[in-house]
């Protein structure tokens, strides 16, 4: 469960805090909705809950604050806004990268892809996904580590009706398996249909904490939904009867042939229909305006009837496969042998009194009428809706759900209840080329599974986990390959031009490093790749909500340094090899002879390229920017080297001549494998102005990185 105590955001200058002393509980096995109008503080409350924003208060997840949990991703699955992934990365590579970060097997990515219905789009890039598919991917990321708690920020925003119902079904299935679900919404109808408990925020304060039945009874208005081809005639008769009986009845004409009757009951409307012989396709009590929250899906008459029947039959099976027959819901009788989309009479007879009949199969005229099988029945105080005894933190007579109205909606005040009836909210349907499946999941002998299988055995912590993540991150997009190809082509062209001009020493010719440039192309390319290694983490923060693998962890830094060093070494070797081959093809063998001091020159060359890559990694990690990382690389020869040369100028009292020989004498026995040779090459490289400046810059950047990492831990 989630326990939030005194969540308060920091004040915003002259404005009050966005969240002020919010305390609540979200119990395991239940779906909790955080309801509020735009600007009420819902998203800020979630960020405070997840320790993603500074403020006061504390939040416990099953008795532990998030920063005390060793692997937060295994405890909390988060969906905040769009999926924060690199736009050029594919769906499958993105999930596999997160699997590597969480020490999960790669097959887990395929399992969640199948559950959320993205198998056919596994090779699609993130920037090509529609709104509905992006929300599916976000839910897949949240379910990846098999978390106990789901925290979702307005998950159905912008989704079509059926997409939203599918998402609510996944949330309900997760709760039925013992998990905790907390989601935000600005639509009171969605909260009433989906949640077990509704927390209401107004201007950053919690004004109500109610069971869904109490919320529906006190804050939403009951009505009678009627669907008939003679809607105009029936509306006139109902108005006449109410005027005769001197009763206050409001009749609202909905889209098509649907009427919403406020202030009456199914029995009264049914008697009028019977007396006047009017054909009725639907007659149901509804509470909380149980119609769709988005614009309806446009179907033809035949397609609409078939789609409604199949969707309802599949959804009923999906829910019952996980949680069994749901109290108050209609379930098909397997012994009756009825066809999909039909329900035998025994089911209609078993519906408890007071349960809305909007879910009766066979009474739907289009896809708009398919009931939400994952929502609890909302009826009067004695209904069968789920309940958790909790105190009401706010009065119900001062709150009015705020929604945008459509033409034709009526807002009237019920004198007995003392609240306002919400109308249908105005929403634009999501343009989605891939509609929601009838039920997501793998089929088995007992029916579809709406959730991925639980992870029975967790792998032991491994130091290679950040390394596997970094390898998948670097290889999942084409940036590294394009950069390496650009460096090789540029280096080859510059080597050919320098050889034709002449007056260039052979070491610089093989490195394509003219004296006019501060760094060769290979060093600049390695520095750019190193800067991208951390720059992408802040530009596309796929790990931002996982406190266990935040970008400033030292384990992740080591992994990035190792991968950057390997990439830079490969780039350095390929650059010299390509330059040698092209120079041989163009000018012959006279320019490709091996220098006598090739080993120290090679060590200096590799050290330069790897050092630039490391400078880019550290600078981008400290300044949180790719541009800053590349600027730090270029600043070494332009700024640091002149400073080092100026410091070493002038007369000196002592010299370091003979340092390698004295270092060799430090060990009584001979260095193994010719170690003194390698040590001498390193000493010569460091003694050069560029090598010394690069080493000085790396030391300063590493110290700054460690200090910022320690400061971040102290603040958290």
Angle between helices 675-687 and 689-715 (to 10 degrees): 90
What is the share, in percent, of the chain residues with pLDDT greater than 90? 39
Q: How far apart are CA 689 and CA 644, in angstroms?
A: 7
Number of structural domains the chain divides into: 3
pLDDT tens digit string along 503-562? 888 888 889 999 888 899 999 999 999 999 999 988 888 887 665 555 667 888 999 999
* Residue 221 DSSP SS3: coil
Residues 228 and 206 in one domain: no
* Residue whose token pair is 């007369």: 651
- Assigned domain for 555 exists: yes
Q: How far apart are CA 288 and CA 198, in angstroms?
A: 13
- Assigned domain for 67 exists: yes
Residues 177 and 246 in one domain: no
- Assigned domain for 578 exists: yes
The mean pLDDT value of the chain amounts to 75
Chain-centre distance for alpha carbon 372:
25
Residues 223 and 111 in one domain: no
Residues 155 and 262 in one domain: no
> The domain spanning residue 159 has which CATH number?
3.40.50.300
**Above 80 in pLDDT, residue 164?**
yes
Pure H helices in 324-430:
345-349
Q: Where does 186-312 show beta strands of DSSP type E? A: 197-202, 205-211, 222-227, 250-253, 258-262, 282-287
- Assigned domain for 386 exists: no
Residue of 78 and 662 predicted with greater confidence: 78
Cβ within 8 Å of residue 547, ≥6 positions away? 51, 66, 67, 69, 72
Band of residue 293 on the pLDDT scale cut at 50, 70, 90: very low
Residues 212 and 224 in one domain: no
Residues 173 and 211 in one domain: yes
Domain boundary among 163, 184, 217: 217
Question: What pLDDT does residue 87 have?
Answer: 92
Q: Tally the C-alpha atoms within 13 A of residue 383's C-alpha that lie toward its C-beta.
A: 25
Residues 208 and 180 in one domain: yes
Residues 148 and 195 in one domain: yes
**Above 80 in pLDDT, residue 169?**
yes
Tokens of 63: 């008795």
**Is 250:235 a contact under the CB 8 Å cutoff?**
no
**Above 70 in pLDDT, residue 443?**
no
Tokens of 101: 């970060």
Describe the strand order of the beta sheet including 282-287 as a list of residue ranges. 250-253, 258-262, 222-227, 282-287
Domain span at 6:
2-217
pLDDT tens digit string along 615-651? 999 999 999 899 999 999 999 888 888 887 777 665 5
Residues 224 and 119 in one domain: no
* Residue 336 DSSP SS3: helix
**Is 116:137 a contact under the CB 8 Å cutoff?**
yes
pLDDT tens digit string along 446-466? 344 468 887 765 665 566 788
- H or E segment and range at residue 626: helix 626-635
**Is 30:386 a contact under the CB 8 Å cutoff?**
yes
Domain boundary among 217, 237, 254: 217
Band of residue 103 on the pLDDT scale cut at 50, 70, 90: confident
Q: How far apart are CA 419 and CA 413, in angstroms?
A: 6
Residues 640 and 546 in one domain: yes
- Assigned domain for 315 exists: yes
Q: How far apart are CA 361 and CA 473, in angstroms?
A: 49
Q: How far apart are CA 679 and CA 641, in angstroms?
A: 23
pLDDT tens digit string along 118-155? 999 999 999 999 988 999 999 999 999 999 999 999 99
**Above 60 in pLDDT, residue 20?**
yes
> The domain spanning residue 278 has which CATH number?
3.30.70
pLDDT tens digit string along 585-594? 998 888 777 7
- Assigned domain for 383 exists: no
Question: What pLDDT does residue 600 have?
Answer: 79
Q: How far apart are CA 101 and CA 550, in angstroms?
A: 10
Phi first, then psi: what are they for 579, rounded to 5°?
Answer: -65, -45
The DSSP-derived string for 545-614 is T-GGG-TT-HHHHHHHHHHHHHHHHHHHHHHHHHHHHHHHHHH-GGG-PPPTTHHHHHHHHHHHHHHHHH
Residues 562 and 681 in one domain: yes
Domain boundary among 194, 217, 240: 217
Residues 199 and 241 in one domain: no
- H or E segment and range at residue 659: helix 659-665
Angle between helices 521-539 and 554-587 (to 10 degrees): 150
3-state secondary structure 81-148: CCCCCCCCCEHHHHHHHHHHHCCCCCHHHHHHHHHHCCHHHCCCEHHHCCHHHHHHHHHHHHHCCCCC
- Assigned domain for 419 exists: no
The DSSP-derived string for 449-514 is -SSPPP--SPPPP-TTHHHHHHHHHHHSSSHHHHHHHHHHHHHHHHHHHHHHH----HHHHHHT--
Tokens of 50: 């997840």
Q: Model-level pTM?
A: 0.68
Describe the strand order of the beta sheet including 76-80 as a list of residue ranges. 76-80, 149-153, 180-185, 31-35, 197-202, 205-211
Q: How far apart are CA 423 and CA 487, in angstroms?
A: 61
Residue of 664 and 624 predicted with greater confidence: 624
Q: How far apart are CA 327 and CA 385, in angstroms?
A: 8
- Assigned domain for 412 exists: no
């Amino acid at each position: 469960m989630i326990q939030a105590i005194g969540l308060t955001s920091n004040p915003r200058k002259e404005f009050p805090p966005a969240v002020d002393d919010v305390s609540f509980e979200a119990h395991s096995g239940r779906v909790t909705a955080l309801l509020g109008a735009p600007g009420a503080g819902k998203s800020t409350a979630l960020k405070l809950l997840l320790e993603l924003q500074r403020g006061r208060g504390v939040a416990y997840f099953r008795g532990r604050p998030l920063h005390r949990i060793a692997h937060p991703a295994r405890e909390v699955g988060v969906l905040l806004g769009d999926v924060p992934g690199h736009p050029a990365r594919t769906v499958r590579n993105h999930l596999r990268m997160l699997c590597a970060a969480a020490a999960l097997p790669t097959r887990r990515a395929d399992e969640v892809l199948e559950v959320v219905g993205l198998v056919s789009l596994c090779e699609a890039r993130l920037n090509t996904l529609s709104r509905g598919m992006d929300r599916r991917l976000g839910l897949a990321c949240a379910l990846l580590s098999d978390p106990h708690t789901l925290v979702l920020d307005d998950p159905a925003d912008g989704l079509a009706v059926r997409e939203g119902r599918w998402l609510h079904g996944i949330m309900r299935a997760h709760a039925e398996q013992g998990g905790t679900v907390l989601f935000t919404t600005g639509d009171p109808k969605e909260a009433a249909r989906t949640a077990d408990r509704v927390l209401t925020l107004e201007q950053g304060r919690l004004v109500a904490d109610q069971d869904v039945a109490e919320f529906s009874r006190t804050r939403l208005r009951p009505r009678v939904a009627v669907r008939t081809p003679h809607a105009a005639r029936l509306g006139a008769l109902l108005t006449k009867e109410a005027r005769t009986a001197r009763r206050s009845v409001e009749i609202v004409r909905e889209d098509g042939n649907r009427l919403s009757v406020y202030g009456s009951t199914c029995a009264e409307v049914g008697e009028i229909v019977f007396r006047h012989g009017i054909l009725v396709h639907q007659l149901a009590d509804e509470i909380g305006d149980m119609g769709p929250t988005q614009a309806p899906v446009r179907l033809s008459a035949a397609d609409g009837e078939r789609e409604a029947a199949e969707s309802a039959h599949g959804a009923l099976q999906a829910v019952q496969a996980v949680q069994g027959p749901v109290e108050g819901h209609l379930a098909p009788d397997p012994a009756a042998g009825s066809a999909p989309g039909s329900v035998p009479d025994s089911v209609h007879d078993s519906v408890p009194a007071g349960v809305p009949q909007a879910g009766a199969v066979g009474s739907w005229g289009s896809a708009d009428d398919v009931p939400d099988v994952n929502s609890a029945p909302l009826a009067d105080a004695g209904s069968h809706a789920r309940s958790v005894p909790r105190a009401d933190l706010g009065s119900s007579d001062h709150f009015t759900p705020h929604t945008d109205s459509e033409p034709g909606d009526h807002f009237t005040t019920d004198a007995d209840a003392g609240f306002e009836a919400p109308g249908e909210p105005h929403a634009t349907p999501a343009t989605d080329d891939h509609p929601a499946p009838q039920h997501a999941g793998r089929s088995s002998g007992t029916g579809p599974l709406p959730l991925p299988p639980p992870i029975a055995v967790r792998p032991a912590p491994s130091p290679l986990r950040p390394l596997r993540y970094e390898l998948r991150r670097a290889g999942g997009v084409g940036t590294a390959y394009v950069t390496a190809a650009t460096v090789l082509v540029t280096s080859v062209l510059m080597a050919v031009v320098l050889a034709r001009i002449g007056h260039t020493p052979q070491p610089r010719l093989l490195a394509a490093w003219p004296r006019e440039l501060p760094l060769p192309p290979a060093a600049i390319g390695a520095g750019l790749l190193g800067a991208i290694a951390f720059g992408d983490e802040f530009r596309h923060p796929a790990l931002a909500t996982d406190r266990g693998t935040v970008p400033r962890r030292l384990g992740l830094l080591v992994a990035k340094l190792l991968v950057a060093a390997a990439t830079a070494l490969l780039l350095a070797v390929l650059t010299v090899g390509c330059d040698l081959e092209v120079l041989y093809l163009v000018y012959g063998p006279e320019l490709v002879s091996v220098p006598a001091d090739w080993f120290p020159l090679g060590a200096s060359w590799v050290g330069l390229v790897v050092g630039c890559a490391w400078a880019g990694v550290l600078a981008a990690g400290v300044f949180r920017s790719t541009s800053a990382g590349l600027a730090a690389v270029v600043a070494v020869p332009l700024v640091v080297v002149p400073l080092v040369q100026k410091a070493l100028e002038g007369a000196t009292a002592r010299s370091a001549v003979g340092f390698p020989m004295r270092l060799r004498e430090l060990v009584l026995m001979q260095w193994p494998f010719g170690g003194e040779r390698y040590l001498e090459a390193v000493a010569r490289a460091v003694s050069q102005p560029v090598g010394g400046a690069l080493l000085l810059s790396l030391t300063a950047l590493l110290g700054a990185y460690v200090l910022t990492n320690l400061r971040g831990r102290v603040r958290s």
